[in-house]
Amino acid sequence: MVVVSGADEVSDSTSPTPSYDRIKELREFDETKAGVKGLVDNGVDKVPRIFVHPPEALHDLPSRLGSTHSCRQTHLTIPVIDLLEATTSRRKEIVDKIQEASETWGFFQVVNHGIPQSVFEELLEGVRRFYDQDTEIKKQSYTRDLMGKKVIYNSNFDLYSSPAANWRDTLYCDMGPQPLDPQELPLVCREILMEYSKQVSKLGIALFELLSEALGLNPKHLIDMGCAEGLAILCHYYPACPQPELTLGTTKHSDNDFLTVLLQDQIGGLQVLHQNQWIDVSPTPGALIINIGDLLQLISNDTFKSIEHRVVARSIGTRISVACFFTTGVQSSTRVYGPIKELCSKDNPPVYRETTLKEYTLYFTAKGLDGTSALSHFKL
Ligand code: OGA
Ligand code: NI
């Protein structure tokens, strides 16, 4: 077992210039190839210092605010949109709701989206089966080589570039545009991941049509631009955390894609930054969470907002979520994306330069989750 010091052993564990060999401890953790789950399985009862976040990322955690937090709870929740109505004469109303949500919250939940709840349950179980496998088996797919395999399991894609590691492990599956050979997926969740991928791709098409209309464009506009072509499925595993007030499940960030479709289990912990307040996205059985990514903010010339969100660590139990990212990422072609011409005018000139999805993804990945925006780097 790797020897990592507990957070209480260094008085300045939250200092920005730690007085310990951080790289060495990161390597030791990485070399276990067992992720955060491995630490928890080994009975860790303190958060190792590589996971301790700086004070500015921790001061407003619910676990720090204690009982005062419940008094401060707001009634605000992200909008819920019933997609069944999009197939009726009330489509315009749905488009308006999606426009409003995308311009203000950058987040909404959808119900009646066509994916049965049994598929969600099977998917969450499949992901759990993957993580519950013997470490020796999982180790075989543990890698940081993004350009190599299409199915990657690791902990913290940005382990060596971010200021603090997150309390989570991830199984990353690159499902498109080049179809994935199902044999590359772990057997324990192969069938359900293929099924879910098919269903989410279909939902993605429907959402991009609604989003195109919400931008005042032809319904096929975003699809014709290739927004629905690439799909990556990220299966996150957030083990129960012994000291949730010292770390995060996921650092505050916005997503580096066009659109994200997120399924979370019943544990909770996802928060969205809205009007300078963290708003809980409480688990809603059967619903999916949709959020605008940086690239949709870029091509919509800031009309739609890619909003920051985070996942707080929890001591109550393991949390599983599955995030579907619409982008071709590093597999992308030379196609360039900039603000859509129809959305720009003399009064609303382009605010971003053109970029490729590969350039954007490599910049985002190299920077890591450090609490700052990647999008601003592309501002004119
Ligand atoms: C992400 C993300 C949230 C979650 O994958 O970008 O924000 O609930 N995930 O896991
Ligand atoms: Ni995200």
- List the one residue out of 369, 379, 110, 378 whose CA is nearest residue 254: 369
| pLDDT 10s digits, 181-193 | 999 999 999 999 9
Mean pLDDT across the stretch 3-25? 60
Q: Residue 282: which pLDDT band, with cuts at 50, 70 and 90?
A: very high
Nearest CA to ligand 1 atom 2: 323
Q: What is the pLDDT of residue 323?
A: 98
> Hey, which bits of the chain come out as E strands?
80-82, 107-111, 151-154, 169-176, 231-238, 248-253, 259-264, 270-274, 277-280, 288-292, 309-312, 319-326, 336-337, 355-356
Nearest CA to ligand 1 atom 5: 323
Closest ligand 1 atom to the C-alpha of 291? 7
For residue 10, how far is its CA from the centre of ligand 2 (angstroms)? Answer: 31
For ligand 1, mutation pick of 78, 156, 235, 236 (most atoms within 8 Å of CB): 236
Q: For the domain made up of 38-378, give the CATH fold.
A: Jelly Rolls (2.60.120)
For residue 321, how far is its CA from the centre of ligand 1 (angstroms)? Answer: 7
Note the pTM of the prediction, 2 decimals.
Answer: 0.93
Closest ligand 1 atom to the C-alpha of 249? 10
Mean pLDDT across the stretch 110-119? 97
Asked if residue 321 has its Cβ within 6 Å of ligand 1, the reply is yes
CA angle 262, 225, 202 (to 5 degrees): 40
Q: What is the pLDDT of residue 85?
A: 87
Q: Give me the residues paired with residue 312 across strands.
A: 248
6 pLDDT exceeds 50? no
| pLDDT 10s digits, 29-68 | 999 999 999 999 999 999 999 999 999 999 999 877 764 4
Closest ligand 1 atom to the C-alpha of 238? 10
Nearest CA to ligand 1 atom 9: 323
| Domain range annotation of the chain | 38-378
| pLDDT 10s digits, 185-217 | 999 999 999 999 999 999 999 999 999 999 999
Closest ligand 1 atom to the C-alpha of 270? 8
Asked if residue 310 has its Cβ within 6 Å of ligand 1, the reply is no
For residue 155, how far is its CA from the centre of ligand 2 (angstroms)? Answer: 15
Q: What is the pLDDT of residue 353?
A: 97
Closest ligand 1 atom to the C-alpha of 289? 8
Nearest CA to ligand 1 atom 6: 255
Q: Which listed ligand is nearest to 311 at the C-alpha?
A: 1
Closest ligand 1 atom to the C-alpha of 236? 10
Residue entry with tokens 């004119």 = 380
Q: Residue 75: which pLDDT band, with cuts at 50, 70 and 90?
A: confident
Q: Which listed ligand is nearest to 314 at the C-alpha?
A: 1
Asked if residue 13 has its Cβ within 6 Å of ligand 1, the reply is no
User: Omega before 177 cis (within 30°)?
Assistant: yes
- The token pair at 164 is 């603090």
Nearest CA to ligand 1 atom 1: 323
Q: What is the pLDDT of residue 138?
A: 95
For residue 272, how far is its CA from the centre of ligand 2 (angstroms)? Answer: 10
